Each structure stands twice: as structure tokens, then as C-alpha cells.
Amino acid sequence: MASSVLPTPLLKDELDIVIPTIRNLDFLEMWRPFFQPYHLIIIQDGDPSKKINVPEGFDYELYNRNDINRILGPKASCISFKDSACRCFGFMVSKKKYIYTIDDDCFVAKDPSGKEINALQQHIKNLLSPSTPYFFNTLYDPYAEGADFVRGYPFSLREGAPTAVSHGLWLNIPDYDAPTQLVKPMERNTRYVDAVLTIPKGTLFPMCGMNLAFDRELIGPAMYFGLMGDGQPIGRYDDMWAGWCTKVICDHLGLGVKTGLPYIWHSKASNPFVNLKKEYKGIFWQEDLIPFFQAVSLPKDCTTVQKCYIELSKQFKEKFGKVDDYFNKLGDAMVTWIEAWDELNPSAAAALPNGPAK
Ligand SMILES: O=c1ccn([C@@H]2O[C@H](COP(=O)(O)OP(=O)(O)O[C@H]3O[C@@H](CO)[C@H](O)[C@H]3O)[C@@H](O)[C@H]2O)c(=O)[nH]1
Ligand SMILES: [Mn+2]
């Protein structure tokens, strides 16, 4: 029997909530019943002299750009400024096993019965149950209540793979790219699809950072949100970059990635013209970047996320360094990220087979 009806553990001491913000944290009021027991890591982007108010009663740590520069020194160059990609600094400084990251314009959504969705609880459920990347289960998540493996599903594969990532979705404002937003400015996502799917091995996906949870011990070092924002030629590809690298490494290490439930209510549509300026090079470049990630093969001796990531950076720079100097910068930032990660997480790095990545 795959599904179990045990209550979902709170994991309040094993999970941090990471929030990037350049606005305010008023949205937390709506999440209070679900988020209050957890520790928040707030990454304040933009002007560090601006005061961000954290609503009363939340346990949190807050980092602005001055803090990032103080803590990382020259390595701070790998953390984006003036872009939601800055959130990955929170992944690095956390000491917990799990991370949930959410944008400050995302609110509690309601399911078709009108019940408020505890997105965090669903993400925990997703992370604590295995994934099925090697053989597709046509009844979707076999570990969900009232579901199971269907006839013909190999018994040898029913244990599944450890789940590293839980990718949630959004009602109301969908996460569209600028061209789609421009063509369909009024489109809203009203479709609540009651399913959690494992993304099959060998398949990439467009990972959105808006409503995302992951096992930091399994895949944390791969969750580098690429160098975007101030001084960079593209934006809004930070989470896409992390998703491509993460999925390739999950496939290599035998880990699973799920997408689907839970939904949040995404309230604010960012400006499509500003987004077009940020995205346009990425829309062009991704036509070559994605075939690269689809074809990437990592050597057997890449047995840790760090080693996989360093190898990815090497292959990436070899292939794209001549296309645009930004890719050399991004490839170098990948290495800096791993060095900073291992510096801030020495025990985890030391515990790796053969120690930190060389
Ligand atoms: O310079 C900035 C801009 C924004 N933030 C914070 O990041 C999130 C997302 O910002 P916003 O809601 O304005 O952007 P969206 O277009 O809706 O977000 C989608 O695009 C991705 C950006 O790559 C994002 O992950 C997607 O959800 C908010 O919390 C802003 O306060 C920032 O820190 N710095
Ligand atoms: Mn938004």
C-alpha cells in the first residue's frame, strides 16, 4: 500500500521560510495561521537603508545587501541585487533541512470546496513521500490518500526515489513570460488541477520560485538562482536557471522533482514591458541553453551536489563562454556560490564523501 493516512508533521524546527522582498511583508498576516510556528529568513533587496516592517509575532532573521556583503565579502558578487534571485542567500544561511520560498505577493488560495489551502503542509507532504521519476503512474501521485500504483506498474519501482523538490502552482496571475503577458493581459488561471506529478527523469521543466519547497540537504547547493538584476543583461531567468541545474543533478543523483499542488493565490502582475526588457535575451538564449542541459552528462565520480555543480559550471563555460561574456560571469558565479555555500555550511561540506568540492 503506497498511500498512508498519517498526519503530516509540522517540521517547524526543520524548515525555514525564505522570502525575498523589495516591497513589504503585509502578506504575512494572511499566512499567519500557517507560517507563525516557523522561522522566517527575509532577504531585503534594494536599498538597505529602507526599514522593512515584519509583522509582530513572527520569529525571523532579516538580511539586507549590507549584511550579504559583510557575511560573504567578495563572494557576495554571486548574489543578485535588485532581483528576486537574491532569495538564494537565504537558502545558503539557513541551517535547516527543508526550505520553503514564497513571494510577497502570494496569498492563501482556496480549493474548489472553498477551504483555505495550507500550501506549506502540502509541500511537506510532497517532500516526505517518494517521487516516481522512472515510470509514470497514470493515477498521478501513488502516495496520495486514496491513490496507489496502477496495474502494470513494476513492483521493483514502487519504492520510488527520494523527493528533493516540490514545485507549487498559482491561481489568479499565472507565471507567464512577458510576450504571453502582453498578448493575454487579462488571462487569469482559474483551473485548480487536483494532482501532484513527478517530472520524469530526463525531462526539464520551467521552475518558478514563487511557491517552491525543497530538501536543502539533498539538493540545496544546486538551488543557485542565477546572476540577474542590477548590472546583468537578463532577469527573470534566475529560477529557470536553478530549475535546469537542479533537475539535471536530481536525475544524475537519483532524486525526484514534483510539481502540482499546492496552489497559492498570486495577486500582482508585474509590468510586462519591464519584464520584456529583462527577459528578451533569455528568450533567445534559452533555445540553446535548454538543449545543453538536455544533453548534459555528469561523470560517475560526481557523487555530491557540489561536485555536480562544479562540473556543470565547467561544461557550461566551455560551451557558452564564447557566446557572451555574461556566461563566463555566470559560470564563475556558480563556483563562487559553491565556495560560499561550503564556507557557510562547513559541517555539511566536511561530511561529504572526500570533503568539500575541489
Ligand atoms: O528587484 C526585485 C524584484 C522583486 N523582488 C521580490 O521578488 C518577488 C517576486 O517579485 P514580483 O512578484 O514583482 O515578480 P513576479 O514577476 O510576479 O515574480 C515571478 O518572476 C520571478 C522573478 O524571477 C519570481 O520568482 C516569480 O514569482 C517578490 O517577493 C518581490 O518583493 C525582489 O526581491 N527584488
Ligand atoms: Mn509576483
Residue 82, pLDDT above cutoff 60: yes
In a domain, 6, yes or no: no
pLDDT at 358: 46
State the cell numbers at 187: 488571462
What is the position in ligand 1's atom list of the atom closest to the CA of 236?
Answer: 23
In a domain, 358, yes or no: no
pLDDT at 3: 52
Residue 248, pLDDT above cutoff 60: yes
Beta bridge partners of 114: none
Q: Return the residue matching grid coordinates 495561521.
A: 33
Residue 268, pLDDT above cutoff 80: yes
In a domain, 10, yes or no: no
Question: 236 CA to middle of ligand 1, Å?
Answer: 8
CATH number at residue 60: 3.90.550
Question: 320 CA to middle of ligand 1, Å?
Answer: 27
In a domain, 282, yes or no: yes
What is the position in ligand 1's atom list of the atom closest to the CA of 102?
Answer: 29
In a domain, 323, yes or no: yes
pLDDT tens for residues 183-233?
999 999 999 999 999 999 999 999 999 999 999 999 999 999 999 999 999
Cβ–Cβ under 8 Å, residues 217 and 97: yes
pLDDT at 4: 54
> If pLDDT is split at 50, 70 and 90, which confidence band does 347 have?
confident
Ligand in closest contact with the CA of 268: 2
The CA-atom distances, in angstroms, between 327 and each of 106, 250, 286, 313, 321 are: 31, 23, 12, 10, 5
Domain containing residue 133: 15-350
In a domain, 355, yes or no: no
Q: What percent of the chain has pLDDT over 70?
A: 96
pLDDT tens for residues 2-45?
555 788 899 999 999 999 999 999 999 999 999 999 999 999 99
In a domain, 4, yes or no: no
In a domain, 332, yes or no: yes
What is the position in ligand 1's atom list of the atom closest to the CA of 228?
Answer: 23
Asked whether 177 lines ligand 1 (CB < 6 A), one says: no
pLDDT at 191: 98
pLDDT at 7: 86
The CA-atom distances, in angstroms, between 189 and each of 167, 240, 242, 265 are: 17, 20, 24, 10
Asked whether 160 lines ligand 1 (CB < 6 A), one says: no
Ligand in closest contact with the CA of 44: 1
Q: Quote helix, strand, coil % in the chain, to nearest 5.
A: 40, 15, 45
Domain count, the chain: 1
pLDDT at 260: 98
pLDDT at 356: 53
Residue nearest to atom 7 of ligand 1 (CA): 84
- Residue 205: CB atoms within 10 A of its CB come to 17
Residue 349, pLDDT above cutoff 70: no
Q: What percent of the chain has pLDDT over 90?
A: 94
pLDDT tens for residues 88-117?
999 999 999 999 999 999 999 999 999 999
CA distance 283 to 337: 25
pLDDT, averaged across the chain: 95
